[in-house]
């Protein structure tokens, strides 16, 4: 089944109040075309799960700048001053999660796990309000899975049914997020016929991908 849809149809699937995962690392591997359109769509009150908030006018950083995000679950925000300003003013709730922990929480959702145990964050504000578990006498922080209504991911290459390939560091969070959302929309730089991608080259199998959009995707900041 050909999963290609128009950019307009893709954007229409993101509704007010949804939880949205966005792949990428400082916009490398992010679905740039989709995010540019989403920033102009007027959708609001989003809960955004991402590694970072990119830059004020780049990728999902625009959603922060436009105040379209009510809650952010993120690893670091230093490259986007608007994130810190909205957090400090109380206009946007921010939950910090260490980068490795963030990745594992997304993976846990994709694998159907009840959470992950880690020592990272013990004794810090990261641990506030969270459960701890002892294993063989050692204390761990229980970090619960992160799941989303929609995942927006970027790929270098796709075939018509949604098998995805990522080049270089653009892979980052994309495969994990493709497994942890109810609806997955992938933006690919190039979409080819089924059979043109070798099976062993596929990073994200088509079964994880619901829709495809052709765009610039991961060309930004490799």
Please check whether residue 130 lies inside any domain of the structure.
Answer: no
pLDDT of 70 over the 80 cut = yes
b/e per residue 154-190 (b: at least 16 CB within 10 A)? bbbbbbbbbbbbbeeebbbbbbbbbbbbebbbbbbbe
The mean per-residue pLDDT over the stretch 12-36 comes to 97
104 domain residue, yes or no: no
How large is the average pLDDT for residues 76-83? 96
Residue 124 placed within a domain = no
Q: So what's the pLDDT on residue 222?
A: 42
How far is residue 41's CA from residue 57's CA, in Å, rounded to a whole number? Answer: 15
Cα separation, 99 vs 7, in Å, equals 30
28 domain residue, yes or no: yes
In the predicted model, what is the mean pLDDT of the chain? Answer: 95
Q: Which pLDDT score, from 0 to 100, does residue 221 have? A: 44
Q: What is the mean pLDDT of residues 161-170?
A: 97
C-beta of residue 95 within 8 angstroms of C-beta of residue 70: no
pLDDT at 216: 75
What is the rounded CA–CA span in Å between residue 53 and residue 37?
A: 17
Q: Is the pLDDT of residue 199 over 90?
A: yes
| pLDDT value of residue 220 | 45
Question: 57-87: string of b/e by CB count within 10 Å (b at 16+)?
Answer: ebbbbbbbbbebbbebbbbbbeebebbeebb
- Provide the CATH number for the domain around residue 157: 3.40.1080.10
pLDDT, tens only, 94-153: 999 999 999 999 999 999 999 999 999 999 988 999 999 999 999 999 999 999 999 999
Average confidence (pLDDT) over 178-207: 97
Contact 186, 164 (CB under 8 A): yes
Q: State CA 5 to chain mean position distance.
A: 20
Residue 219 has pLDDT above 70, yes or no: no
**Residue 137 placed within a domain:** no
Q: For the chain, give the secondary structure using H, E and C.
A: CCCECCHHHHHHCCCCCCEEEECCECCECCCHHHHHHHHHHCCCCEEEECCECCECCECCHHHHHCCCEEEEEECECCCCHHHHHHHHHCCCEEEECCHHHHHHHHHHHHHCCCCEEECCCCCCHHHCCCCEEEECCEEEEEECCCCEEEEEEEEEEEECCCCEECCHHHHCCHHHHHCCEEEEEEEEEEEECCCCCCHHHCCECHHHCCEEEECCHHHCCC
Residues spanned by the domain of 202: 7-97+146-217
pLDDT at residue 218, rounded to an integer: 53
Give domain status of residue 133, yes or no: no
- pLDDT tens track for 41-67: 999 999 999 999 999 999 999 999 999
Q: What is the pLDDT of residue 217?
A: 55
Number of separate domains in the chain: 1
Please indicate, yes or no, if residue 55 is contained in any of the structural domains: yes
Residue 111 inside a domain? The answer is no
* Size of the chain, expressed as the number of residues it contains: 222
């Amino acid at each position: 089944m050909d999963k290609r849809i128009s950019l307009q149809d893709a954007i229409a699937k993101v509704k007010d109040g949804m939880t949205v995962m966005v792949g990428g690392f400082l916009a490398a591997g992010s679905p740039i075309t989709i995010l540019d359109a989403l920033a102009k769509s007027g959708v609001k009150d989003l809960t955004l799960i991402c590694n970072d908030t990119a830059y004020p006018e780049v990728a999902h950083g625009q959603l922060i700048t436009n105040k379209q995000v009510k809650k952010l679950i993120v690893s670091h925000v230093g490259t986007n001053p608007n994130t810190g300003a909205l957090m400090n003013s109380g206009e946007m709730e921010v939950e910090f999660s260490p980068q490795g922990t963030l990745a594992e929480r997304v993976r846990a959702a994709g694998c159907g796990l009840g959470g992950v145990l880690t020592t990272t964050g013990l004794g810090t504000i990261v641990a506030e309000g969270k459960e701890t578990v002892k294993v063989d006498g050692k204390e761990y922080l229980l970090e619960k899975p992160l799941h989303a209504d929609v995942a927006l991911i970027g790929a270098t290459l796709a075939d018509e049914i949604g098998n995805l390939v990522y080049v270089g560091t653009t892979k980052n969070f994309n495969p994990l997020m493709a497994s942890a959302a109810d609806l997955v929309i992938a933006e690919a730089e190039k979409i080819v016929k089924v059979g043109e991608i070798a099976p062993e080259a596929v990073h994200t199998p088509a079964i994880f991908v619901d829709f495809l959009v052709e765009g610039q995707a991961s060309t930004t900041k490799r």
